[in-house]
Amino acid sequence: MVDHCVQEFKKRQKKDVSKNARAMGRLKVAYEKAKRELSSTFEASIDIDCLYDGTDFSMKPLCKSIKADEAVAYGAAVLAANLSGSGNKAVKDLVLFDVTPLSLGTRVQGRYMSVIIPRNTPIPAIKEEVYVTAFDGQESMTVDVYQGECYEVKGNIFLDEFKLGGVPPAPAGEEEMNVCFSIDTSGILEVSAELISTGSKKSMLIAGSGNVSKDDIEKMLKKIEL
């Protein structure tokens, strides 16, 4: 299936994604996620933002005709016009959304980033993912929160973490934990986890997850282009 996706991408975009280790890793993770979804539904999609060379996996090229500074300035001008009531109808009809500046996710398999809220998601937003125990007899599950676009968490920004204990003894992969990320318009991120078999819950708040500097964002995006 992964090979088919690579060939389809090459056919449509004339780009060989197989030569990029990071892109292949993201594709394999997305495929495994879709495979899990198919265990409980008849349909699943694979959609990866900026998979390779500015193109996502829904085959839509990203807009490169406007610089980030220009987009921010334009948005500020629209907002100011709307607040003052001086804008024309076309401007007043525009709706501005705050978005997550970088992806938010948690660590899986010891070092990989599992994205829960993708970059540029309009906020407020709520996203959930289900994770399973990694080894037999696991007594607790850790939810550590990272922000960034790197495939491995060591290249991303660590925000906070907590442990959800009381996991019943069971073989690896049997106990499930539902993790929910909820971010509001102030950039406050609430992370909660619930052990599905027992209903045991734990949560935490992370303030300012959206307060990432322009330099931090640019550095992160340069990392994934390497």
CATH at 206? 2.60.34.10
Full-model pTM: 0.59
Domain count, the chain: 1
Nearest to 21 by CA among 108, 145, 150: 150
Residue whose tokens read 């690579």: 6
Q: How confident is the model at residue 119, as a pLDDT?
A: 86
The confidence band for 5, taking pLDDT boundaries of 50, 70 and 90, is confident
Distances in Å between the Cα of 171 and the Cα atoms of 57, 167, 174 are 35, 11, 6
What residues make up the domain containing 180? 99-225
pLDDT of residue 134: 92
Q: How confident is the model at residue 17 (pLDDT cuts 50, 70, 90)?
A: confident
Residue 47 lies in a domain: no
Burial of 118-147, coded b for 16+ CB within 10 Å and e otherwise, reads bbebebebebebebbbeeeebeebebebbb
For residue 197, tell me if it sits in a domain. yes
- Structure confidence at residue 98 (pLDDT): 75
Q: CA-to-CA distance for 210 and 11, rounded, in angstroms?
A: 37
Residue 159 belongs to a domain: yes
- Arithmetic mean of pLDDT, 126-145: 94
Quickly state the pLDDT bin for 62 (edges 50, 70, 90). Answer: very low
**148-195 pLDDT, tens per residue?**
988 899 989 999 999 999 999 999 999 999 999 999 877 889 999 999
**According to the model, what pLDDT value does residue 32 have?**
65
Least confident range of 5-19, 33-47, 88-102, 151-165: 33-47
CB atoms near residue 163 (< 10 Å): 13
Convert the pLDDT of each residue in 33-47 to its tens digit: 666 555 555 555 666
**Band (67; pLDDT cuts 50, 70, 90):** low
Is position 199 within any domain?
yes
Q: Is residue 219 part of a domain?
A: yes
> Distance between terminal CA atoms of the chain?
26
Range with top average pLDDT, 2-16, 57-71, 108-122: 108-122
**123 in any annotated domain:** yes
136 within a domain of the structure (yes/no):
yes
- Per the structure block, which two tokens stand in for 106? 């948690």
Q: Per the domain annotation, does 117 fall within a domain?
A: yes
CA distance 116 to 103: 8
Highest mean pLDDT (candidates 7-21, 40-54, 72-86, 183-197): 183-197
